[in-house]
Amino acid sequence: MSSSYKFPPLKWLMSFEATARHMSFTAAAEELGLSQAAVSYQIKCLETMIKAPLFERRPRNLQLTSVGQAYLPPIRRAFDELFASTSGLFGTPGEKVVTVRVAISFMTRCLAPALRDFYLAHPDIRINFWSSIWSNAEGTEEADIDIRFGAGDWAGFDVTLLANDTAVFVSSPENAPLVQCREDLARVPSTMMVEVAGYDELWRRALIQTRERPMVGNGIRVDTTLAAIELVASGVGFAFVSQLFSREDVRSGRLVMPGDIEIKMERSHFLLQPQSKKRPRNEVLIFKEWLLSQGW
């Protein structure tokens, strides 16, 4: 960045973020203790500075422009970090509870090993975890944070990328000699192809690159990566599973990766928060920032 670049005044950014959250100059002005004209003027100044419109001003409502949509997430994250840091250092004591809805695989393989550090830093915050497999399970609207695997296109939520992932081919040490390279996948009996619901395309994508294309779908089918890992470790078969969820088993030797076969996943793990005109509670912001800092 050029040293001559001037950073926008904080009050302009606050007016932009509040207006985008409420989609209303009037509501933003009430929250910030300013007049509607002042909020509108500050946003106009910001638009002039960045040389791009942030809102489409329509007769009855506002709409973010493409520039506004791109600019809002980093501004919101910056304010969230600021509020979370201030609350963590100077907030008043009292019961602080965060409800997190998360699939059991992410909970046990990613969150559980790391949570000790969070509780050491924030002993006053209690986390309630709801483990769930499917993204449309009941109770989602009551969660402060929802961790999902998908394409990132859920309506009604503010969505932040949490972690990209890769599918890896795993086996028990005893079964590993059957597969030494990608071409050897064609040698795997279809009855030993363990499939995880929601990841069904991985076997097909892998086998299409081999000379032969054995039938898929005759093996065991499970609904969690954890179940697939246990089946593979017990010698029942082979599977393509999340690298994120299987890495500890590979490190310990329970699983091996014969042929070092990987497939890029078309979906990722995302952090979702219900869209609201109110800023999330400080304890929610603190836990969110901790999640995003983990580098899963």
Whether residues 194 and 227 share a domain: the answer is yes
* Domain range for 203: 166-264
Residue 139: pLDDT band with limits 50, 70, 90: very low
Is residue 177 scored above 70 in pLDDT? yes
Question: 180 in a domain, yes or no?
Answer: yes
Whether residues 110 and 224 share a domain: the answer is no
Q: What is the pLDDT of residue 253?
A: 97
- Residue for token digits 């109110």? 278
Whether residues 118 and 187 share a domain: the answer is no
Whether residues 129 and 273 share a domain: the answer is yes
pLDDT of 150-170, one tens digit each?
Answer: 999 898 888 999 999 999 999
Question: 5 in a domain, yes or no?
Answer: no
Whether residues 170 and 259 share a domain: the answer is yes
**Averaged pLDDT of the chain:** 87
Whether residues 185 and 259 share a domain: the answer is yes
Whether residues 98 and 156 share a domain: the answer is yes
Is residue 281 scored above 80 in pLDDT? yes
Distance set, CA 166 to CA 1, 30, 122, 264, 269 (Å): 33, 46, 32, 5, 11
Question: Which of 26-40, 76-90, 191-205 has the lowest average pLDDT?
Answer: 76-90
Question: 84 in a domain, yes or no?
Answer: no
Question: 229 in a domain, yes or no?
Answer: yes
Residue 92: pLDDT band with limits 50, 70, 90: low
Reported as type and span, the H/E element at residue 57 is strand 55-57
pLDDT of 187-231, one tens digit each?
Answer: 899 899 999 988 768 898 888 877 666 566 788 999 899 999 999
Question: 250 in a domain, yes or no?
Answer: yes
Kindly state the average pLDDT of the residues 82-96: 68
pLDDT of 103-130, one tens digit each?
Answer: 999 999 999 999 999 999 999 899 999 8
Q: What is the pLDDT of residue 279?
A: 81
Question: 254 in a domain, yes or no?
Answer: yes
Is residue 136 scored above 60 in pLDDT? no
Whether residues 30 and 177 share a domain: the answer is no
Tell me how far apart the alpha carbons of residues 202 and 15 are, in angstroms, rounded to a whole number.
46
Are the CB atoms for 221 and 197 separated by under 8 Å?
yes
Whether residues 52 and 124 share a domain: the answer is no
Q: What is the pLDDT of residue 257?
A: 97
pLDDT of 38-54, one tens digit each?
Answer: 999 999 999 999 999 99
Q: For residue 66, what is the domain's CATH number?
A: 1.10.10.10
Q: What is the separation of C-alpha 180 from the centre of its chain, rounded to a whole number of angstroms?
A: 33
pLDDT of 4-17, one tens digit each?
Answer: 567 899 999 999 99
Specify the higher pLDDT residue, 87 or 82.
82
Q: What is the pLDDT of residue 99?
A: 93
Number of domains comprising the chain: 3
Whether residues 254 and 177 share a domain: the answer is yes
Whether residues 161 and 171 share a domain: the answer is no
Whether residues 260 and 201 share a domain: the answer is yes
Instruction: Identify the CA nearest to 166 among candidates 244, 229, 227.
Output: 244
Question: 24 in a domain, yes or no?
Answer: yes
- Residue for token digits 């509501």? 27
DSSP strand pairing (166-170 vs 193-196): unpaired
Kindly state the average pLDDT of the residues 232-242: 96
Question: 281 in a domain, yes or no?
Answer: yes
Q: For residue 120, what is the domain's CATH number?
A: 3.40.190.10
Domain boundary among 44, 73, 102: 73
Residues with Cβ within 8 Å of 83's Cβ and at least 6 positions away in sequence, in order, are 279, 282, 285
Sheet of strand 157-163, all strands in order from the earlier edge strand to the far edge: 125-131, 96-102, 145-150, 268-274, 157-163
